[in-house]
Amino acid sequence: MERKIGILMSGVTGREGTHQHLLGSILPICAQGGVALPNGDTIMPDPILVGRNEAKLAALSREHDVPRYTTDLDAALGDPYNEVFFDASLTGLRPAMVRKAIAAGKALYVEKPTAGTTEEAVSLYREAAAKGLKNGVVQDKVLYPGLQKLKYLIDTDYFGGIHAVRGDFGYWIFDGFQWPCQRTAWNHVVADGGGMILDMYPHWSYIIGDLFGEIRNTFTTATTCTKRRVNEFGNAYDCDADDTAYSLFELSNGLTIQWHSSWSVRVSRRDLWSIQVDGPRGSAVAGMFECHTLSDAQTPRPVWCPDVTPAIDYLNLWSPMPNRKAYENANKTQWELFLKHVVIDTPFRWNLLVGAKGVQLAERSLQSAKERRWVELEALD
């Protein structure tokens, strides 16, 4: 039996909403015949595109054969057929949108950050929980193939204990004077909700939490390396949001993690993002798609000698882990998990409280950078 489920997709005309969620997740789920359930039934998503620009919605509808769209959010929320509210709009608009969906009794699935402050993010969780609403936050990166492989190594105690973790994320975003920027202008303006920390630290929160443990303290320094850019309309503007951040995170289990994030760095590694994990029995470097390992048995014995060209090719010592299964799009995988959660109540651990922890890490890290000191992350409940 096919179980249709109406999904309100707010903010879907934006880059993230269009590519990662509509084209990368919902439409492929429809094309494969829905989400299979253990009893042989299927969940079939039926999206309705919601936004403020009717022309953009109509164009998206025509191009991808999505018949339902509207600019009337209230009417769409009032239709009981639409059971799930999804939001990928601007962060500043999200709390008001989510509260409308809570009032309408919808299941909630939203992009991060869920709010601009920890207090409001926790409040959204409490309001949804008080009404007994299923809720989730997009936390897709932990489902990337590289991190799934890394999780396997951790779960099987490949490292023999972990004593060091280093994360390195970023790439060069052009300033727009010679080549167009890859990100829209609001990302680089504080008043518009921009900044590396607010954008990416909610991701680091759940990745570190899922793999290594809860973050309890942050020491962060941040800067704006590229201070002037040209926006998508060809106008020059001043940038005041942080585009580079350096952090130390202390975990509740005693592990200290180093993390570097930047939109003003040129890549000299296998991927735009990497995590290196070291332990007594071996090390691993994971990116979005691959994970390379170097065991204790294969580790050479380097000797520091500045007078002789190194004879060891360090990069080629590492071995790629095999693909033992077919890896799906991470956003699509998480959408399937959430839809199962809504329909048959399977577990879904990335709820609005987990999303609030991501907001908290960003907020406390910004506080640390401003006050130039360690800042504690209090427990949220």
User: Regarding predicted confidence, which is higher, 303 or 46?
Assistant: 46
Q: Is residue 381 in some structural domain?
A: no
**Per-residue pLDDT tens over the stretch 309-320:** 888 888 899 999
Same domain, 202 and 134: no
The lowest-confidence range among 69-78, 242-251, 309-318, 329-338 is 309-318
Same domain, 280 and 304: yes
Give me the pLDDT at residue 91, please. 81
Give me the pLDDT at residue 310, please. 80
**Per-residue pLDDT tens over the stretch 102-158:** 999 999 999 999 998 999 999 999 999 999 999 999 999 999 999 999 999 999 999
Kindly state the average pLDDT of the residues 216-236: 97
Kindly state the average pLDDT of the residues 90-99: 90
Same domain, 121 and 9: yes
Same domain, 80 and 131: yes
161 burial level (CB within 10 Å; 0-12, 13-18, 19+): exposed
Strand, coil or helix: what is 198? helix
Q: Is residue 365 in some structural domain?
A: no
| pLDDT surpassing 90 at residue 98 | yes
Kindly state the average pLDDT of the residues 26-53: 96
Q: Which of 290, 275, 284, 291 has the alpha carbon at shortest distance from 168?
A: 275
Provide the domain count of the chain. Answer: 2
Question: With bands split at pLDDT 50, 70 and 90, how would you rate the model's confidence at 308?
Answer: confident
Computed on alpha carbons and rounded to an integer, the radius of gyration of the chain in Å comes to: 22
Q: Which of 328, 332, 97 has the alpha carbon at shortest distance from 340?
A: 332
User: How many angstroms separate the CA atoms of 380 and 352, rounded?
Assistant: 11
Same domain, 164 and 280: yes
Same domain, 271 and 216: yes
| pLDDT surpassing 90 at residue 15 | no
* CATH number, position 34: 3.40.50.720
Kindly state the average pLDDT of the residues 362-373: 98
| pLDDT surpassing 80 at residue 200 | yes
**Per-residue pLDDT tens over the stretch 163-194:** 999 999 999 999 999 999 999 999 999 998 89
* CATH number, position 177: 3.30.360.10
Same domain, 192 and 211: yes
Same domain, 113 and 210: no
3-state helix/strand/coil string of 251-297: ECCCCEEEEEEECECCCCCCCCEEEEEEECCEEEEECCCCEEEEECC
Same domain, 315 and 355: no
Strands 107-110 and 291-295, by their bridges, are unpaired
User: How many angstroms separate the CA atoms of 111 and 51, rounded?
Assistant: 15
Same domain, 133 and 170: no
Q: What is the DSSP letter of 172?
A: B
Range of the domain at 19: 2-139+330-359
Kindly state the average pLDDT of the residues 5-12: 96
